[in-house]
A and B are shown apart, each in its own frame.
Chain A
Amino acid sequence: MIQIANLTKRFAGTAVLDGIDLDIEQGEIIVVIGPSGTGKSTLLRCLNFLEHPDAGQLTLGDLQVDVTRASRRDILAARRRTAFVFQNYALFANKTALENIAEGLIIVNRWPKDKAHARAREILERIGLADKADAYPASLSGGQQQRVGIGRAMAAQAEVILFDEPTSSLDPEWVEEVLGLMKQLAAERQTMLVVTHEMGFAQDVADRVVFMEGGRIVEQGPPAQLFQSPQDPRTRDFLRKVLAAQPAPQTL
């Protein structure tokens, strides 16, 4: 269970996150949408302490942190409870697919190498890349790299996996395989917080869609409700623009 209360982040005096409150149930899949520059990435990065928030309280499973008083130890603990999937994959270039997935288990969780590699093989199996165990990222397609990126996040066994536009850097031909893997995780009730412009994915997979603008949550609800009867004019305006730019989900 994740609780975010009054999460605030300023860059050069400007509030990029302006008091975000959000609770996420275990097994819940939340999709965050909103115009670019609105603080969606910053929200995910603050949960993972890649950015240090200026104020707020975080509950990540058994960990509670007042971010203004977060110690180094709290930050490491928070990072272990949140896994991150990056837009540009960010795989370790000097490690094979298998090693990318096993690295955190070995170094952070201090598992013996054999056990970590065995787990990494299981994960490679699940992400459909068992035959690429020994391949370096440079020799993988974008879609394969992102699946390894997701595999690395899966290995962390975090409370929540944070996805920051996981398909935005991909050539169109690879988008489906990555979304397919994310759907598979969703079906296994992996808790996920996903920033994406893939409205079809939000429609099909999300339990809840959150619309952000200007560093705040403007509106949230189940996808059917948010897409079909958005309450706030900003939400309506955004959806109209996005849906004009990409084919509407079938069910809309």
Chain B
Amino acid sequence: MSVLDFDYMLGLVPILLSYLPLTLEMAAAGMVLALALACGLAVIRVLKIPGLNAATMLFISFFRGTPLLVQLFLFYYGLPQLLHFLTQINGITATIMGLTLHFSAYMAESIRAAIVGVDRSQTEAALSIGMTNGQLMRRIVLPQATRVAVPTLMNYFIDMIKATSLAFTLGVTELMGATQKEAAGSFLYFEAFVTVAVIYWIVVELLAWGQRRLEARLNKAYSR
């Protein structure tokens, strides 16, 4: 008798893979929203917009300073108690919300660093020809900052995919939740969790491979 029940594992793969789209969709939605929010937060921090700057620092401090799981529970179980219209919130929405806010805090700081890293004299040159702050951000600073920030942001996306597994604690049957259920039915916990680990691992490695290729391309930019 072998240590692992390979037949069970092979049979499990297609079942688990059918939950992969939900996992990826939550991560993708979280990523898009977190990026948009992080860009806004980063610009507030860079321009030191009065009032908003302090609020943004507090936001970033909170979402980086507390565990994601605590934040998810706060949104899913805690907030509806205060805001009654949220009683309808489902686990998927709560997860996307949590991922968005949590990761936007980290991403805002990377984006801010990338923006600040763009040579200040280019900002002055843009101002000198009469561009507004918005125009010079959009045309000069953000495109360059993006190139610097993309590799880090890709890392956050990879983290986010792994973090979607926390959604099962909010009752969402995504990749991890499905594994949990299968394992509970078969009592083959070891096989089930090894299988899901390998699936996450392969997905992440594929993305990491894409990231390395992207990085190589970005490094070549602007030198033609």
Contact = CB atoms under 8 A, between A and B. Distances in A.
Interface of A: 48-50, 76, 79-80, 82-84, 86, 88, 90-96, 103-104, 107-108, 134-139, 152, 156
Q: Tell me if A's interface is mostly helix, strand, loop or mixed.
A: loop
Contact of A91 (B125, B135, B221, B223): B125
A91 B125 CA distance: 7
B224 A134 contact: yes
A170 to B, nearest CB: 15
A156 B132 CA distance: 15
Contact of B131 (A86, A88, A107): A107
Q: Tell me if B's interface is mostly helix, strand, loop or mixed.
A: helix
B129 A79 contact: yes
A137 B140 CA distance: 13
B129 A103 contact: yes
Nearest to A79: B130
B126 A136 contact: no
A94 B124 contact: no
A165 to B, nearest CB: 13
B128 interface: yes
B222 A48 contact: no
B47 to A, nearest CB: 14
A94 B125 contact: no
Contacts of A91: 122, 125
Contact of A88 (B121, B126, B223): B121
17 contacts: A76-B130, A79-B128, A80-B129, A80-B130, A82-B128, A86-B125, A90-B124, A92-B122, A92-B126, A94-B143, A94-B144, A94-B221, A94-B222, A103-B129, A107-B131, A108-B135, A138-B222
